[in-house]
């Protein structure tokens, strides 16, 4: 009887082991999104040493298994993570403490990173379509970089507005294409090419992936209503940790990935 009771309690223990420890929860999240990862790559993405990863994998027990190319979630592991996410949504509160939840920084350096990531994304489309040869657009980008260097918030907003207005008038097809592309990449991995290079990622405040609808709302504000979106966010929601109104509306945050970032790798 005691053995049967212990077996019945095992799934509950596994849920507690995964939900109450932020590192193990992160391991499940990473494997859920990536399907299967080699041991070293898994440790890097989680942000811990390989020795520590071994300890946590043992504690996760039957939730993680070794596959042909690395480690992956078992069917039970996927169900446990989905159960945890469902409980969080149903209760309206995270099982993790507030200190472990992702938080967005609205510091000048974070604003600069997000702006540069956005410019990288637009530059990709401008180069592909030849729009980057437009002198007005080049002047707008130069104004943005100058405002960032001087930490001039008003100048940044004015330069962004000029850039967006000129681009929408002359290159609406580029903006619609970039809107679709940025929405799809954020919904898939939480990263556009610019965010990937700057070591940034979009997450929901509960730590989950952004949905396609949430990504669409965020990028509509960024591509078509940026001055208004940014002004409302900074004026009304900055104290809550949101840079743009659409960030607040969708309850999403942009955070720096822990540990390794691409931009630091290039600088090194």
Domains and CATH numbers, the chain: 2-100 (1.10.10.10), 108-267 (no CATH)
156 near 149, Cβ under 8 Å? no
* pLDDT tens digits along 170-196: 667 777 887 888 899 898 888 888 888
Per-residue pLDDT at 118 exceeds 60 = yes
Residue 38: partners with Cβ closer than 8 Å, 6 or more residues away = 69, 70, 71
Give the whole-angstrom CA distance, residue 268 versus residue 223.
Answer: 32
36 near 67, Cβ under 8 Å? yes
Q: For residue 109, name the pLDDT band (cuts at 50, 70, 90).
A: confident
* pLDDT tens digits along 58-83: 888 788 888 888 888 888 888 888 88
Encoding tokens for residue 63?
């939730």
* pLDDT tens digits along 238-248: 766 677 888 88
Per-residue pLDDT at 107 exceeds 80 = no
Residue 149: partners with Cβ closer than 8 Å, 6 or more residues away = none
Better pLDDT: 6 or 129: 129
């Amino acid at each position: 009887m005691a053995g049967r009771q212990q077996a019945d309690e095992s799934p509950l223990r596994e849920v507690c082991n995964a939900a109450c420890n932020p590192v193990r929860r992160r391991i499940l999240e990473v494997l859920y999104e990536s399907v299967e990862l080699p041991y070293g790559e898994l440790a890097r993405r989680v942000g811990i040493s390989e020795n520590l990863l071994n300890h946590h994998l043992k504690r996760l027990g039957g939730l993680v298994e070794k596959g042909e190319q690395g480690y992956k979630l078992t069917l039970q592991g996927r169900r446990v993570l989905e159960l945890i996410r469902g409980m969080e949504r149903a209760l309206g509160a995270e099982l993790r403490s507030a200190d472990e939840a992702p938080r967005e920084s609205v510091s000048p350096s974070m604003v600069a990173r997000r702006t540069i990531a956005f410019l990288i994304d637009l530059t990709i489309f401008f180069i592909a379509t030849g729009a980057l040869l437009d002198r007005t657009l080049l002047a707008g980008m130069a104004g943005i970089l100058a405002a960032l260097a001087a930490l001039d918030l008003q100048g940044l907003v004015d330069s962004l507005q000029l850039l967006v207005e000129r681009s929408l008038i002359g290159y609406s097809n580029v903006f619609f294409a970039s809107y679709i592309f940025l929405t799809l990449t954020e919904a898939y991995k939480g990263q556009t090419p610019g965010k990937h290079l700057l070591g940034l990622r979009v997450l929901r405040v509960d730590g989950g992936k952004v949905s396609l609808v949430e990504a669409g709302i965020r990028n509509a504000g960024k591509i078509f209503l940026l001055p208004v979106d940014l002004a409302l966010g900074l004026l009304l929601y900055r104290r809550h940790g949101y840079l743009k109104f659409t960030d607040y509306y969708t309850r999403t945050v942009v955070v720096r990935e822990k540990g390794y970032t691409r931009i630091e790798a290039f600088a090194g």
